[in-house]
Amino acid sequence: MDADVIVVGAGPVGLFLAAELELAGAEPLVLERLLAPSKETKARGLGALATEALRRRGLGDQLAEADVEGTKDLARDHGSTRGHFANIFKIVPDPERPRTNIWQPELERVLAKHAAGVRVLRGHEVVAVESDVDGVTVTAGQREWRAKYVVGCDGGRSAVRKLAGFGFPGTPALLRTTAGRVRFAGAVPPSGRYATGTFMHGGSMTGVSELVTGPEPEGPEGPVTPAELAEVIQRVTGTEVVVSEIHDARRFGDQARQAATYRLGRVFLAGDAAHVHSPSGGQGLNLGLLDAANLGWKLGAVIRGDKPEAFLDTYTRERHPAGEAVLRNTRAQSALLAPGPHVDALREILGEVLDLPEANRYFADLLSGVRERYDFPYPAPAPVGEHCPDLELIGDGRVSRLHEHTRTGRGLLLRTPETRHLADPRVDVVPVTNTGPLLLRPDGVIAWAGEGPLDVALGAWFQSGSTTSPPPRKAS
C-alpha cells in the first residue's frame, strides 16, 4: 500500500480531509491534477459550522485575521455584510455562531500549512480507479497507486465519481452567471432585473445572469474574455458595452446534482464531487468541509481497527440529507432569481417577510445549517445529533472555550459535578460547572447529553468495550 487513504484533489476539502485522517492516525496521500494551487477567487467565505470545525483544530487565529479583510471586501463588493437569500440582503448573521469571510485561495494557504505533514503530489491526473476486496488502485501521473480507500474531493466534474460509477442525478441549470472585476469604457446599463436575466454592477464587482435555454450546455472553456462578457451583458440588457479590463472572472451555473450515495465500497465522495448547486448563500464550501470533518475520523477509526467496515455507512446516512437540504434551498433561490414580474412580486413579499425577526432567524439558520441534526442508531432528544457551538466552559478555576480542548481529534466528555464519576479512556474528559454533561464526537457533534446510558453512545461511536468508572459509593 502507498497509503491508507488516497485523497484526490488538493482544494480546501481534500486538504482538510487529509489533515483529519493524519490526526486520526491514518496515512493519507493527496493526488492533485493542477501543478500549483488555483488563484481563482471562487468561494469567499465559511459558514458557522465550517468555521467551528476549523477552530476546533487550532485555526481560529488564522481565520480571524483573514476575516478582517474578507469582511471589508464583502462590504465593498455587495454593499452590505449581511447575508442574503436569492440576493435579498437582509439576513442578520447569528453573533453567537459567526461565519468567516475568507477568499478560497487564502483558505487553501491556511489549510496547506495545517496539513504540512501530508504528502501532496501535484501534476497527477487520475485516469483510472479500480477496487478489489483488499483496496483500491488509482492510476495517475504515469503510475499506479495503491490504498485501502480512495476519496474523491476533485470538484463538480469529479474524475473519481465518473470512473467509480457513481450516479449523479439532479436538475439542469436554470441560470448561468458570468462575473468578475470589470472596467468599462463608456456607458454602463443600470443594475437590475431584465426580461431574460439580471445585471449587477456595483462596488468592484460586475455580474450578469441569464436564463439557460435548450439542453444543459457545459459552457465555454478557458478564461472569460472581455468580448464574451460584453456579449452576455448585451443579450440581457439590450445595451452595447465595451469591457476594457476584466479580472478574477468566472462562470457558474445553478445546476443541482447529488450522488445517490457517497460511498461505493472503498471509494467515497466529498465536497463538490458529491454535490453541486448554485453558489447562492455561499454554502458549498461549508458543506464540503463538514463532509471532510464527518468522514475523516470515521475512516481513521476503521483503519485503526476500532470500528467495523459497516461503520463507514454512517457517512452517507448523515451527510446525504445535509446535501439534500442545501440543494433544496439553492433551488428555491434560483427560482427567486429568475426574471419576470411574477417572481418580482414574490421577491418583494419575501423581502417583507425577512423584516420579521423570527423569519430572519429561520433563513439565517437555514443557510448556516446550525439546526442540522443527524439521526442516530439510538433514541436521544435534541441536542443529541446537533453540531455543538463553541461553548464557554467554566471548570477547575478557569474559563476556556470548547475549541481549546478539541485539537487532539478525540471524543470529548464535558463532565459536570453531578457526573464526576464518569470517565473513559476512549475520550478526553473536561470538568465543567456551567454546562453539560455532554459527549462530543471528534467532529463536534453531540453524541450524548445526560439522558440514557453513556455506554450506548460510547459504543456507537468509539471502539467496542466499556471502561466507564462506576459511580462512587455513598459514605455509610
CATH no. for residue 409? 3.40.30.120
User: Quick count: other Cβ atoms within 10 Å of Cβ 53?
Assistant: 25
The residue type of 221 is: E
Same domain, 292 and 218: no
Q: State the Cα torsion 230-236-237-240 to the nearest 10°.
A: 30
Cα–Cα distance, 262 to 170 (Å, whole number): 15
pLDDT by residue for the chain (476 residues), tens only, comes to 999 999 999 999 999 999 999 999 999 999 999 999 988 888 889 999 999 999 999 999 999 999 999 999 988 888 888 999 999 999 998 999 999 999 999 999 999 999 999 999 999 999 999 999 999 999 998 899 999 999 999 999 999 999 999 999 999 999 999 999 999 999 999 999 999 999 999 877 899 999 987 655 556 678 899 999 999 999 999 999 999 999 989 899 999 999 999 999 999 999 999 999 999 988 999 999 999 999 999 999 999 999 999 999 999 999 999 999 999 999 999 999 999 999 999 999 999 999 999 999 999 999 999 999 999 999 999 999 999 999 999 998 899 999 999 999 999 999 999 999 999 999 999 999 999 899 999 999 999 999 999 999 999 999 975 444 433 333 32
Same domain, 363 and 420: no
Same domain, 290 and 157: yes
Final residue of a domain: which of 231, 253, 275?
253
At residue 178, the 3 state secondary structure works out as strand
At residue 349, the 3 state secondary structure works out as helix
At residue 472, the 3 state secondary structure works out as coil
Same domain, 61 and 193: no
CATH no. for residue 91? 3.50.50.60
162: Cβ–Cβ under 8 A, 6 or more apart, which residues? none
Same domain, 31 and 121: yes
* Contact criterion met (CB below 8 Å) for 269 and 161: yes
Final residue of a domain: which of 228, 253, 278?
253
Same domain, 223 and 246: yes
Same domain, 17 and 68: yes
Final residue of a domain: which of 336, 368, 400?
368
- DSSP notation for 198-229: EEEEETTEEEEEEE--SS------SSPPHHHH
User: What is the total count of domains within the chain?
Assistant: 3
For β-strands 175-184 and 170-171, DSSP reports them as unpaired
Same domain, 206 and 248: yes
Which residue segment(s) compose the domain that 226 sits in?
175-253
Same domain, 213 and 287: no
